[in-house]
Amino acid sequence: MHPWQALILGVIEGITEYLPISSTGHLIVAQRLMGIGTGGVESKAAADAFAVCIQGGAILAVLGLYWKRVLQMIQGVLGKNPEGLKLAINIIAGFIPAAVIGFVLSHKIKEHLFGIWPVVIAWILGGIGILAVSWWNRKKSSQTRGAELGELTLKMALIIGLLQCVAMCPGTSRSLMTICGGLLVGLSIRAAVEYSFLLGVLTLTAATAKDAIDKVKEVEQYNHLFGGTKLMIHEYGMVPMAIGIVAAAISAAIAVKWLVTYLQSHGLSGFGWYRIGLGLIIGSLIVAGTIAA
């Protein structure tokens, strides 16, 4: 992998991880276009491990931007901040459905849905879903104000967590499901976005750790000299990995700050049209043979 390819993948991961447009879908397409991970089992395993590693940059970005909330939750767990304890419980409640369902179904999902056509279909269906939720939210907002993060209940958190499970299908977007879920249970757009980001830190950290363990086991079946991260470093070197993580962290921080402001002024509908348009374009390129199916 060339440094410029690592930079592009890192930027794509950082920008798309917290926007409701699917980071996995964008990374799959970008890797196909650049010919990354197409040289056999070991090549694909190294590319997948790289994608897992650069997620760490996106996680660090949110931890840096929302460190006060994180500190508040730590204080709550230590018995020093009741509001922080409530938020921590609600984050854990939102995570539990994904933890349970992901443990049971993740391998089946990866086996059957990690292709480019499922991503295209998920982009289009998700775009239609965003337009429907945007219309509903505009109608609701004219009648009542949304709840703030401190007003989130355990039941609301569990509902958002269940909706997050839909995002296990590539192309759906975890941010899409959690932000829309927050709006559907009655949160304001700002509170829904903030909860999505905080829940994402726990969910992505757990998913990254699980994927890293799975990759080690998977790669060791084919290569006894280089397992997991060692294979990735052997294939690409340390420099591309460092570039990817830093690029993901910086671009994710910019994307997160921009998204909060943008959604308060413009809502979600723009992302719906983007997903539909992108799905139609990529689908057309697959049919034309420009991108391998």
pLDDT digits (tens, 9 = 90+) for 21-66: 888 888 888 888 888 866 666 667 677 778 878 888 999 999 999 9
> How high is the pLDDT of residue 229?
54
DSSP state of 187: B
- Containing structural domain, residue 59: 3-288
The average pLDDT across 118-141 equals: 86
Which residue in this structure is represented by tokens 């459905």?
Answer: 97
Question: Is 178 a residue whose pLDDT tops 90?
Answer: yes
**CA–CA dist 258, 111 (Å, integer):** 35
Q: Are the C-beta atoms of 164 and 97 separated by less than 8 Å? A: yes
Question: Is 83 a residue whose pLDDT tops 80?
Answer: yes
Q: Are the C-beta atoms of 167 and 128 separated by less than 8 Å? A: no
Question: Is 204 a residue whose pLDDT tops 50?
Answer: yes
Q: 84-98 in b/e burial notation, b at 16+ Cβ within 10 A? A: bbbbbbbbbbbbebb
The residue type found at 255 is A
Extract the tokens encoding 150. 């401190």
> How high is the pLDDT of residue 78?
94
**CA–CA dist 181, 57 (Å, integer):** 25
The average pLDDT across 164-172 equals: 84
The average pLDDT across 123-138 equals: 89
Give the percent of the chain with pLDDT over 70: 82
Domain-located, residue 293: no
> How high is the pLDDT of residue 112?
56
> How high is the pLDDT of residue 226?
44
The full 3-state SS of 72-86, as one line of letters, equals: HHHHHHCCCCHHHHH
Averaged pLDDT score across all residues of the chain? 84
Question: Is 11 a residue whose pLDDT tops 60?
Answer: yes
Q: Are the C-beta atoms of 259 and 18 separated by less than 8 Å? A: yes
Domain-located, residue 21: yes
With H, G, I as helix, E, B as strand and everything else as coil, classify residue 224. Answer: coil
> How high is the pLDDT of residue 73?
95
> How high is the pLDDT of residue 81?
94
Question: Is 114 a residue whose pLDDT tops 70?
Answer: no
Domain count for the chain = 1
> How high is the pLDDT of residue 225?
40
Domain-located, residue 229: yes
